Amino acid sequence: MSENSKIGTYNFVAEPFHVDFNGRLTMGVLGNHLLNCAGFHSADRGFGIATLNEENYTWVLSRLAIELDEMPYQYEDFQVQTWVENVYRLFTDRNFAIINKDGKKIGYARSVWAMINLNTRKPIDLLAMHEGAIVDYICDESCPIEKPSRIKVANTDPSDKLTAKYSDIDVNGHVNSIRYIEHILDLFPIDFYKTKRIRRFEMAYVAESYYGDELSFFCDEVNENEYHVEVKKNGNEVVCRSKVIFV
Amino acid sequence: MSENSKIGTYNFVAEPFHVDFNGRLTMGVLGNHLLNCAGFHSADRGFGIATLNEENYTWVLSRLAIELDEMPYQYEDFQVQTWVENVYRLFTDRNFAIINKDGKKIGYARSVWAMINLNTRKPIDLLAMHEGAIVDYICDESCPIEKPSRIKVANTDPSDKLTAKYSDIDVNGHVNSIRYIEHILDLFPIDFYKTKRIRRFEMAYVAESYYGDELSFFCDEVNENEYHVEVKKNGNEVVCRSKVIFV
């Protein structure tokens, strides 16, 4: 298989209700598109959620890091490319490029996924699955952004609290991965987004939360432009952590 | 122009992050798709927002009513059709049909729009615009659901309050029309959605709200399956009203 045929390319347009007050695509919507592309790309290669579910397996997103020079503007066409960078026994790295209307790469993303057994919730050995077929999709394409990093948050005084509602819940009964992104970005006052933009955004998904869970948001200001956020459910259990770097 | 060519048809798929815990497309996402279709259809006919903005005009959504037999399920393809039913001096009625993967009409929607001058915020005479060209698009297609109705709410004790945040705000600086739908549907406990589904949903948009506004949600239970909701900003001014009918 040529390296090119291992890359999936998907077309989008920045819809009016998917942009923020600056007219730029929101990070939550971009995250949604990236995860959809991961779904399309893996489904086309026999590793989609629908197929996996028949074997009682599913993909679980562990890390996501997005880094951008600019966000698509309202009504602009853009593309997302995705490919598999590495496959380990328990994790696989999937990367993305975001390409603007003029064909210029304006950003990249990295994601880390595990596969679990839906009954036992235990991880699956990816290299043993389908006789190791997944390694055929590994692609040598550059992704010139840093890997997701370790995020630590010291603050014990929550910036905000909310209760997970109907709109937050996905088909698995969990608060959906994209909603966390929106809730975390809502911690920052709108003035931030008037003078800065997000250069890098990271998520580490640690545990699931459910309808009715009280989510608390703890935030460390590491420096003027870098914030680390931890989300806990019901007072103590960490659900996810995030790093937001403005420029 | 034949009646058929006056109908715009647009293809969608129910994406995984666009469905609720039942695996059914959310009303907010469907509303988003309908408004996008309105945008595509009017843009193709010279009445799109981009063109209007050059003349300092824009469309304002006044009413939306959606009635459905079922919602598309996760990963299912579906279509939205839209056409102009009526044009009056100050309003135009645009209707929609929602068509499932098997080509069956599973629902309809009605919307009412005004056009305003962005500087004066005053309404424009639609029949005088572009020498009345808009009436050429009027289409005689059936839309067998009731028109949006008058909604009154008596309750003065709010069910919920929230402050409009970054994610709520659109490119015009207003809380976006779709977010109101999500916030209103979040008023109902998840058990509602376990045993019932929304048969009809109505929105009447009355005034704009902005970043930092405190939104209060007042709800009348008209009967076991019918709820009327009023959203006020900062304690007194009505922003929108909604009718939610479950089955």
Beginning with the edge strand found earlier in the chain, give each strand of the sheet holding A8-13 in spatial order: A8-13, A77-87, A92-99, A105-117, A57-68, A198-205, A237-246, A226-233, A214-223, A160-163
Within 8 A of A20 by CB-CB distance, chain B residues are: 166-167, 169-171
What tens digit of pLDDT does each residue of A104-141 get? 999 999 999 999 999 999 999 999 988 888 999 999 99
Instruction: Indicate the pLDDT class of residue B4, thresholds 50, 70 and 90.
Output: confident
Tell me whether residues B186 and A166 touch, CB distance under 8 A: yes
Distance, CA of A231 to CA of A161 (rounded, Å): 9
Where do we find the tokens 């997005």?
Answer: A66
What tens digit of pLDDT does each residue of B36-64 get? 999 999 999 989 988 898 989 999 999 99
Helix (H) or strand (E) holding B182: helix B177-185
The closest of B74, B111, B82 to B99, measured between CA atoms, is B82
Residues 6+ apart with CB under 8 A from A223: none
- Residue A19's identity, in one-letter code, is V
Query: Choosing among A41, A42, A167, which should be mutated to test the B contact, i.e. which has the most B CBs within 10 A?
Result: A167
User: What pLDDT score does A50 carry?
Assistant: 85
CA distance B175 to chain A (A): 10
ipTM greater than cut 0.90: yes
User: What pLDDT score does A3 carry?
Assistant: 80
User: What pLDDT score does B176 carry?
Assistant: 95
Within 8 A of B165 by CB-CB distance, chain A residues are: 186
Nearest CA in chain A to B50: A75
Tell me whether residues B186 and A165 touch, CB distance under 8 A: yes
pLDDT over 70 percentage in chain B: 100
Instruction: Indicate the pLDDT class of residue B110, thresholds 50, 70 and 90.
Output: very high
Within 8 A of A49 by CB-CB distance, chain B residues are: 16
Tell me whether residues B15 and A32 touch, CB distance under 8 A: yes
**Three-class DSSP labels, chain A:** CCCHHHCEEEEEECCHHHECCCCEECHHHHHHHHHHHHHHHHHCCCCCHHHHHHCCEEEEEEEEEEEECCCCECCCEEEEEEEEEEECCCCEEEEEEEECCCCCEEEEEEEEEEEEECCCCCECCCCCHHHHHHHHHECCCCCCCCCCCCCCCCCCCCCEEEECCHHHECCCCEECHHHHHHHHHCCCCHHHHHHCCEEEEEEEECCCCECCCEEEEEEEEEECCEEEEEEEECCCEEEEEEEEEEC
A148 touches chain B (CB under 8 A): no
A19 touches chain B (CB under 8 A): yes
Phi, psi of A63 (to 5 degrees): -135, 150
Q: How large is the average pLDDT for residues A154-166?
A: 97
Q: Which domains does chain B have, with CATH numbers?
A: 4-137 (3.10.129.10), 160-246 (3.10.129.10)
Instruction: At B50, list the tokens.
Output: 């981009």
Instruction: At A80, list the tokens.
Output: 């997302």
User: What pLDDT score does A242 carry?
Assistant: 98
Q: How large is the average pLDDT for residues B72-77?
A: 96
* A149, pLDDT greater than 70: yes
- DSSP secondary structure of B60-120: EEEEEEEEES---BTT-EEEEEEEEEEE-SS-EEEEEEEE-TTS-EEEEEEEEEEEEETTT
Q: Between A and B, how many CB-CB pairs are < 8 A?
A: 96
Helix (H) or strand (E) holding B180: helix B177-185
Distance, CA of A193 to CA of B190 (rounded, Å): 33
Tell me whether residues B171 and A26 touch, CB distance under 8 A: no
What tens digit of pLDDT does each residue of A6-48 get? 999 999 999 999 999 999 999 999 999 999 999 999 999 989 9
**pLDDT averaged over every residue in chain A:** 96
User: What pLDDT score does A235 carry?
Assistant: 86
Q: How large is the average pLDDT for residues B67-96?
A: 97
What tens digit of pLDDT does each residue of B174-187 get? 999 999 999 999 99
User: What pLDDT score does B1 carry?
Assistant: 66
Query: Choosing among B11, B17, B210, which should be mutated to test the A contact, i.e. which has the most A CBs within 10 A?
Result: B17
Phi, psi of B80 (to 5 degrees): -120, 130
Residues 6+ apart with CB under 8 A from B5: none
